[in-house]
Structure 1
Amino acid sequence: FTHSEMDCTQPIEQVMQDLRDLTADISAKGHIPVTLGGEHSVSYGAVMGVFDALHQKGESLGIVQIDAHADFRVAYQGHHHSHASVMHLLAEAGLPIVSLGVRALSTEEELARTKHGVIAHDGPMLVRNNISQIELPDDFPENIYVTFDVDGLDPSVIAATGTPVPGGLGFYQSLDLVESTLKGRRCVGIDITELAPVEGLTSNDFTAALICYTLMAFAAKTQIDKKRPIK
C-alpha cells in the first residue's frame, strides 16, 4: 500500500506530528512503514511514530543509521528539525543508535555522540578495513528502525545527493552491514533519505530504489524469522 503524499507546506512541527501520527497508526496495525525523503529531517516523525506504537505494547526501539554525517548538531541554521540535527533529537528522546559510515562530523557532534552512548562504526574504519559485518550488543533493542541516508554511500555509487562526501560505503557493503545488524532482531521501520535526483542521470534513482526494495526484503525476512508475519 502506498500512502498519498503528505502536505509539507505547514510549519515543520506540524509536518513532523502528522508524520508521527501516520507511522504510529501504520505500525500499530502490524505493518512496516517505509518513508521516502526528502531530506533527513523526516526521520524524526517517522521514527517517533514507530516508537509510540511499540511503547504502547511495552516494547523498545533501536536505530541503525547509514550516513556520511553524524547529524548530531543541536540545531542547524536556527532550526532544531533539520537534516543536520535529526539524530540528536532522536537521541534526546532516549532512542539507542548504531551509526555506520560517518566521515563528516564536528568536535561537538563527536562529544554529543559519546554523551548519548551512540555505537559508532565510522566510514574510514569500515572502508579501509573492508568491514561488512558488525555485531550489536546483546542489550540493544530487538526492534530495529533503519534510516538510510544515501550520502552514506560513496559518490561513485550515488552522487545525486545534497552533501556528498568521498570515501563512503560501497553498495553491497552498506547492505551487508545493515543485514548483519538485523540478525536475531526484527526490522519494524525504514526510511530512505537525501536522494536529490538529477535530470538525465537515472542510475542514482534506480540505485536508491533497489536499496529500498532490498531493505524491505530484509524487513520481511526478519518478521518471518521472528515468527511475527507482516500484515
Structure 2
Amino acid sequence: MTRQFLGSELSATENQPADALFQIIPCGLEATVSYGTGTRKGPEAILKASDQLERNVQGFEPCQQGIFTHSELDCTQPIEQVMQDLRDLTADISAKGHIPVTLGGEHSVSYGAVMGVLDALHQKGESLGIVQIDAHADFRVAYQGHHHSHASVMHLLAEAGLPIVSLGVRALSTEEELARTKHGVIAHDGPMLVRNNISQIELPDDFPENIYVTFDVDGLDPSVIAATGTPVPGGLGFYQSLDLVESTLKGRRCVGIDLTELAPVEGLTSNDFTAALICYTLMAFAAKTATK
C-alpha cells in the first residue's frame, strides 16, 4: 500500500480519492541528473517525513479539504512515457476540480505535470502561469543529449507558450539569460532577492489568474536544504521562499504544485522534513486561494 502524505494525521473522510482537494503524485524520476544523484528517493522520503508534520500550518489545516496519495508512477519506462503518464494523470485530476501535487524526482517531471494542468484548463478556455522557485534557470534548449532534461524544463514550458515568473535563480548560462529575455520571463534572481531581503513581489495585472507553483528545493540556500543534486550557495531562506510564493498568489488561484530535486541523505532527516513542510505549506496557500 502506498504511504499516504500526512499518514495517521488524516481521518478516513480526509483521505478519499474522489473527494480530496489535494492529489499527491509520487514521481521518483531520475533519468537526466548531471551531478549528485538520489532524487529517485525523494518522494518516499517526503512521504515518510510528512508523518511528523502537524495538521496546522501557519494557522490553517489544508488536510481538512482532503489529501490522497496515488501509487508512485512507473519511472523505469522511457522518459517520454513517464511524461505522458504524468500529463494524463494531472489532466484528469485538474479536470475534476482537484489540485495535483507532484513529488519528484528530478525537475524534468514538471513538464508532464504542468502540461496536464494546462490541458484541463484549455478545455475550459482558461490560461495558466508558472511561478518557479529555483537556483537554476533550467532554460537550456537541451542538456547532455536529453530533450526532457532537468536543465531544460522551463525552456520547454516557455516554448509551449506559458508565462513564467522565476524566483531565486543564481546559476545560469549566457545563452539561458538571452533565452529567458526572448521568452519574456519575469526574473527576480537570487542575488537581488537575498541581498535586499525581498520577500514580496507583485505580478503584472495581465499575468494569468491560474498559477502553477514549481518548487525546486535547490532554490533554497544549502543551509536550509543541502540534500539536492546541484546545490548553489547564496539561496533563499525558508520563510523568504514561502513568502515570495504566497505574494504571487494574491488575487489568484493555485491550481497545481510540484516539489522536486530532493536527494535524501541518510541520517539527515531534517532535509526531508523541511521539504515535506514546504509541500504542506504550499498546499495551505493553495487551499486559501481555492476558498476565495
| Cα-to-partner distance string for 1:127-182 (whole Å, 9 max, x where unaligned) | 00000000000000000000000000000000000000000000000000000000
Distance in structure 1 (CA, Å) of the matches to 2:147 and 2:179 = 15
Distance in structure 2 (CA, Å) of the matches to 1:160 and 1:138 = 37
**Number of residues paired by the alignment?**
223
TM-score, scaled relative to structure 1: 0.96
Distance in structure 2 (CA, Å) of the matches to 1:171 and 1:121 = 17
| Cα-to-partner distance string for 1:186-217 (whole Å, 9 max, x where unaligned) | 00000000000000000000000000000000
SS in 2 for 1:33: strand
Distance in structure 2 (CA, Å) of the matches to 1:169 and 1:183 = 20
SS in 1 for 2:211: strand
Aligned structure 1 segments of 4 or more residues deviating by more than 4 angstroms: none
Alpha-carbon RMSD: 1.0
| Cα-to-partner distance string for 1:93-127 (whole Å, 9 max, x where unaligned) | 00000000000000000000000000000000000
Please list every run of 5 or more consecutive structure 1 residues that lacks an aligned counterpart in the other structure.
223-230
Question: Shift of the alpha carbon at 1:11?
Answer: 1.0
SS in 2 for 1:99: strand
Distance in structure 2 (CA, Å) of the matches to 1:126 and 1:200 = 31
| Cα-to-partner distance string for 1:71-90 (whole Å, 9 max, x where unaligned) | 00000110110100000000
Please list every run of 5 or more consecutive structure 2 residues that lacks an aligned counterpart in the other structure.
1-67
Distance in structure 2 (CA, Å) of the matches to 1:67 and 1:149 = 5
Distance in structure 2 (CA, Å) of the matches to 1:2 and 1:195 = 18
Distance in structure 1 (CA, Å) of the matches to 2:102 and 2:152 = 18
SS in 2 for 1:197: coil
Question: Shift of the alpha carbon at 1:68?
Answer: 0.1
Question: Shift of the alpha carbon at 1:10?
Answer: 1.1
Distance in structure 1 (CA, Å) of the matches to 2:189 and 2:245 = 14
TM-score, scaled relative to structure 2: 0.76
Larger-Rg structure? 2
Question: Shift of the alpha carbon at 1:31?
Answer: 0.2
Distance in structure 2 (CA, Å) of the matches to 1:203 and 1:55 = 39
Distance in structure 1 (CA, Å) of the matches to 2:146 and 2:75 = 16
Aligned with residue 213 of structure 2, among 146, 155, 159: 146
Distance in structure 2 (CA, Å) of the matches to 1:129 and 1:150 = 21
Listed as ranges, the matches of 1:1-231 within 5 Å are 1-222=68-289
SS in 2 for 1:71: coil
Distance in structure 1 (CA, Å) of the matches to 2:184 and 2:70 = 35
SS in 2 for 1:172: helix
Determine what percentage of the aligned residue pairs are the same residue. Answer: 99
